Amino acid sequence: MRIAFVGKGGSGKTTLSGLFARHLARSGAPVVAIDADINQHLGAALGLDEDELREVVPLNTGLAEIKEYLRGDNPRIPSVDAMVKTTPPGSGSRLLRLLGADPVHARHVREVAGVRLMTTGVFTEDDLGVACYHSKLGAVELYLNHLVDGPGEYAVVDMTAGADSFASGLFTRFDMTFLVAEPTRKGVSVYRQYKDHAAEFGVPLAVVGNKVAGEDDRLFLKEHIGEDLLACFGHSDWVRAREQGRHTGDLEPEHRLALGELRIAVDSRTKDWETFQRQAIEFHLRNAHAWANRSTGQDLSAQVDPDFRHGPAALPAHPEPGTHSAPVG
Ligand SMILES: Nc1ncnc2c1ncn2[C@@H]1O[C@H](COP(=O)(O)OP(=O)(O)OP(=O)(O)O)[C@@H](O)[C@H]1O
Ligand SMILES: [Mg+2]
């Protein structure tokens, strides 16, 4: 299952992504956490120090290798240069299993607190000025487009703030999107923006209140969000202590309960591989027309394999040696 955390800047996306990933990992589930935000803070939230963070190999430093691996011997993708961030898998492409023993996971995963962290990499001033930030998420999009994840396996993605997440098709690649909202007018205004986009594309969305200080706060959220309000987190002394470099005991029981509610919401989803692949193709075609055909000098709509059915059935019956799932632990 793929889970995105979105919301206003500073609302607590990174904090809750980290807590949720740890919560899942503690139960023994395989968990990949992906930092897909401009400000890369998920590693620190999970407990990596600066030296350890420097050792993580960001996905976007290995983009060419990732493309080379994923295109496999798909005849519709004759070279790495023809593979863009939205190129969907087709017959001959290599699919990924969550934490499979493939070169992508082998190179980019860093384990912390039982969670396997991957990062997109930092963004320099130049990147933000010239290249579009979303192009930096190309590796995440390719990863999710080629991933065959099952129930009980989780990819938790800490997304960028606000409505920026809609600029690419990435927001349609999730089984559940958690919108983190503080009990303020700004907090709920992001929800309204997101809700319309989500409805348009049939994206499952639930709101998680954060920094909810009492009953008035909860009622405020309930009034503005209604049914979509799934759970609320209050101020956590445990989170604050970690921010101060102190590591004390366990997360508060009420916050563990709230994390449990998030998990139930995710686990109650059924995977819809057909919609997923249809949307991947839709965004690929848009992307091809918008810039990618021009930029590659090719007609990228020819990459769409109409006979390809995504999902577990598309995995090879006999995986290549060494590509079975890596043991968790
Ligand atoms: N429930 C909480 N209890 C205590 N502190 C919290 C809680 N949620 C978030 N914080 C603190 O609030 C600050 C902002 O949280 P966080 O970095 O998770 O937000 P964000 O949405 O990821 O921000 P950005 O948009 O900058 O990425 C952090 O210092 C974090 O420790
Ligand atoms: Mg953040």
Ligand 1 mutation pick, 6, 8, 15, 236, max ligand atoms within 8 A of CB: 15
Mean pLDDT of 218-241: 97
| Residue range 19-40, pLDDT digits in tens | 999 999 999 999 999 999 878 8
**Residue linked to tokens 């589930």:** 29
Q: Is the pLDDT of residue 129 over 60?
A: no
pLDDT score of 203: 93
User: Is the CB–ligand 1 distance for residue 243 below 6 Å?
Assistant: yes
Which of 166-170, 217-221, 262-266 is predicted with the least confidence, judged by mean pLDDT? 166-170
pLDDT score of 245: 87
Q: Which ligand is nearest to the CA of 178?
A: 1
107 CA distance to ligand 2 middle (Å): 24
Residue of the nearest CA to atom 9 in ligand 1? 12
Backbone CA torsion sign across 121, 115, 153, 172: negative
**Residue linked to tokens 């349609």:** 172
pLDDT score of 167: 67
Q: What does each C-alpha distance from 290 to 77, 168, 295, 300, 301 come to in angstroms?
A: 19, 12, 10, 11, 12
pTM, entire model: 0.94
145 or 295, which is more confident? 145
pLDDT score of 168: 76
User: Is the CB–ligand 1 distance for residue 242 below 6 Å?
Assistant: no
> Following DSSP, what letter does each residue of 177-192 receive, concatenated?
EEEEE-SSHHHHHHHH
- pLDDT tier at 241, thresholds 50, 70, 90: very high
Closest among 39, 41, 21, 11 to 232, alpha carbons compared: 11
| Residue range 141-195, pLDDT digits in tens | 999 999 999 889 999 999 976 666 676 788 999 999 999 999 999 999 999 988 9
83 or 129, which is more confident? 83
> How far, in Å, CA of 24 to CA of 176, rounded?
15
